[in-house]
Chains A and B, each alone.
Chain A
Amino acid sequence: MPSRARRRVSKKILEHELVPKHEVLSFEEAVEVLRRLGIPPNRLPAISVNDPIVQLLGAKPGDIIRIIRKSPTAGEAEYYRIVVAF
């Protein structure tokens, strides 16, 4: 049911306090991140393409997503997840 109501809720969830900021990395950024971490992309934590936030961002499997978490210990922490298809 991709009605208007559904879409409105979808946008709303980005404002929820439990949802940290997500952003899709460009190819260059992704290479930079993997170089810094020294791992191949398949070793990154995963996030499903069907994840509501990923659908909102319109990311495709293989994209890397940077998550800027609000951390109670570090203030702000970066985390990376790779979009997987399941």
Chain B
Amino acid sequence: MAYTIFTDDLNTLIDIASKVLPKKKFDEIKQKVIDNEKLTEKQKANIIRDAIIIYMRALAQPGEPVGTVAAQSIGEPGTQMTLRTFHYAGIVEFDVTLGLPRLIEIVDARREPSTPMMTIYLDEKHKYDEEKAKEIARRIQYTVLDAVVSEIEYFQGSNEFTIVLDPEQLEDKGVTVEKVIEALERGKLGEVVQTEDPYVITLIVSERLLPPEYYYDPGVYREIENKIRKVYLKGIKGIRRAVIQAEEKEVDGKKVKEYYIVTEGSNLAEVLRIRGVDHTRTTTNNIHEIAEVLGIEAARNAIIREIMNVLQQSGLDVDIRHIMLVADLMTFTGRVRQIGRLGIAGEKESPLARAVFEVTVKNLYDAAATGEFENLTGVSEKTIIGQPPPVGTGLVVWLKSRETEKPIEVAEKKKK
């Protein structure tokens, strides 16, 4: 489309530019052109005028099928994606779902990703010290007694269980023997007795759990052993593993290693409460969790970030605007909705539009049975009945609906 601006006055042009151009572009022009002393006034005016015209030309025109364009722009490179990848994402020891399965997962808005994962950044005091980082990782990782036990011995016919602790694991997990005893007492399994060996604990299981008539039932013993192994020691529920990662960074000209924690499993609300965690950067790959803890706008940003990540890791270059459109669409009801038949496509008002998408016959039956009304206004509906669809120039109509909404007048009446 052709645009022309009939003015050479620099100040008028700057005024137009500040209104028309997005802030980022205007700031750039201000810095490079307006504040540039080498340019004459006329040159400046010409540059700004051209910038405005080029920007206006690049805008999406009214009626442009941006959704279709976005779908194609993601779909075509998507065919190049690996169908099944379960490789780590540059992180040691971690399995992260990537590629097409992950993309589908995001767009389907699953409650739980197949590999929930958190990236926990640390605050100023903790991030440059490996020991301090480890300390936080230990506090976060969900630890049960099983992790520090080397053996549990018992004899049928007796209610004594001997628990042998592993000193190495105790140190690695940062748990003391006293803490284990405390945890066992809290578990209410029976009486805890310390022996001469500091790493051996005897547990006399209470009669409630092991009545004498079951003394020769191996199943009951196995159950009790499992219960002992599952006694909670420390950590946050849902965090199965926490691993320290390091990143080289430059701070004030010096090379420093910044430590952060990557976890298997996710629990954003609880992790943000831990002291020493950087609450401004810590994230998870579970989008529903972000929506719950940080709000719907944060979820939108997370969707964009996750999708862009997947695409970039597959080596695909898709413009971020298409992804932004998808994320906006997924969150515009205030909740994270999926794009498929159970979400956006399935919630369309027009029964024909729904029938076109998936499960045609069922949709038509249901619409007929419940007496739904078809307005015949959408693109799919118009195509079915053989009329020009409301896209591009087809959007322009001569007739005006009588039901035209008048928000402004309504609002003004209220004001009086």
Assess the B24–A74 pair: CB atoms within 8 A: yes
* Dominant SS among interface residues on chain B: helix
Give the residues from 1 to 50 in chain A that come closer than 8 angstroms, CB to CB, to chain B.
5, 8-9, 12-13, 15-20, 22, 27, 30-31, 34-35, 38-41, 43, 45-48
Query: How far does the alpha carbon of A65 sit from the alpha carbon of B269 in the complex, in Å?
Result: 24
Do B22 and A75 have beta carbons less than 8 Å apart? Answer: yes
Residue of chain A at shortest CB distance from B320: A72
Chain B residues near A73 (CB, 8 Å)?
A: 22, 24, 320-321, 324
Instruction: Flag if A18 contacts B334 (CB, 8 Å).
Output: no
Q: Which A residues between 32 and 86 are near B, CB-CB below 8 angstroms?
A: 34-35, 38-41, 43, 45-48, 51-54, 67, 69, 71-77, 81, 84, 86
Contact with A along B18-46 (1 / 0, CB 8 A): 00001111010000000000000000000
A-side interface mostly = mixed
Q: Across the interface, which residues of B come within 8 angstroms of A75, CB to CB? A: 22-25, 27
Q: Do A77 and B279 have beta carbons less than 8 Å apart?
A: no
Q: What's the least CB distance linking B408 to chain A, in Å?
A: 5
Q: Does B298 contact A (CB under 8 A)?
A: yes
Q: Is the CB–CB distance between B295 and A51 below 8 Å?
A: yes
Contact A52 B22 (CB under 8 A): no
- Among B1-60, those with CB < 8 Å from A are 22-25, 27
Alpha-carbon gap, A83 to B23, bound state (A):
27
In the complex, B283 has a CB within 8 A of chain A: yes
With the chains together, A33 CA to B346 CA distance in Å?
A: 31
A9 to B295, CA, bound (A): 13
Chain B minimum-CB-distance residue to A69? B297
> With A and B bound together, what is the CA distance between A12 and B302 in angstroms?
18
Give A residues with C-beta under 8 Å from B: 5, 8-9, 12-13, 15-20, 22, 27, 30-31, 34-35, 38-41, 43, 45-48, 51-54, 67, 69, 71-77, 81, 84, 86
A-B contact pairs, 9 of them (CB 8 A): A9-B269, A9-B272, A13-B298, A17-B280, A18-B290, A19-B297, A45-B332, A45-B333, A67-B297
**Which residues of B does A touch, CB under 8 Å?**
22-25, 27, 269, 272-273, 279-281, 283, 290, 292-298, 301-302, 305, 320-321, 324, 328, 331-335, 405, 407-408, 410-412, 415
Q: Give the 3 A-B CB pairs with smallest separation, nearest first.
A: A75-B24, A74-B22, A18-B298
